[in-house]
Amino acid sequence: MNLKKGIKDIIIDPGFGFGKTIQHNFELLRNLSVFKMLNCPILLGISRKSFIYKTLNVSVEDSLNGTTALHSAGLLNGATILRVHDVKEAIETIKLISAYQHH
């Protein structure tokens, strides 16, 4: 990427959660692939977000399964970086989605 002012690395963070409704967050996740046109890595920062645990009607502590499910959706829609609380589970999700996409 040839950028002015010495900027070399750009990561797209769509900003899940910040001032958005539950519906806004799901719409953003469904349309995440639109950001691929920018040719930059896409960060998915949804781990334990309220739109997950509120949709499932569980506590934040019990939202790992929902987080994992939506990490999968995000990876399939173009996310290349996950911001997570549960590293082991995220790595397993990445490995499985990668195997799914390449086998």
CA distance 30 to 92: 22
Buried b (16+ CB within 10 A) or exposed e, 39-76: eeebbbbbbbbebbbeeeeeeeeebbebbbebbbbbbe
Residue 1 has pLDDT above 60, yes or no: no
Please say if 49 is a catalytic residue. yes
Q: What is the pLDDT of residue 6?
A: 81
Measured in degrees and rounded to the nearest 5, phi and psi for residue 44 equal -110, 105
Q: What is the pLDDT of residue 3?
A: 60
Please say if 83 is a catalytic residue. yes
For residue range 35-87, what is the model confidence (pLDDT) as tens digits?
999 999 999 999 999 999 999 999 999 999 999 999 999 999 999 999 999 99
Options 30, 54, 83, 95, the catalytic residue:
83
Q: What is the pTM of this model?
A: 0.90
For residue range 3-31, what is the model confidence (pLDDT) as tens digits?
677 888 899 999 999 899 999 999 999 99
CA 15 to chain centre: 10
CA distance 5 to 27: 34
Residue 98 has pLDDT above 60, yes or no: yes
Q: What is the pLDDT of residue 103?
A: 83
Q: What is the pLDDT of residue 7?
A: 82
Options 49, 54, 88, 95, the catalytic residue:
49
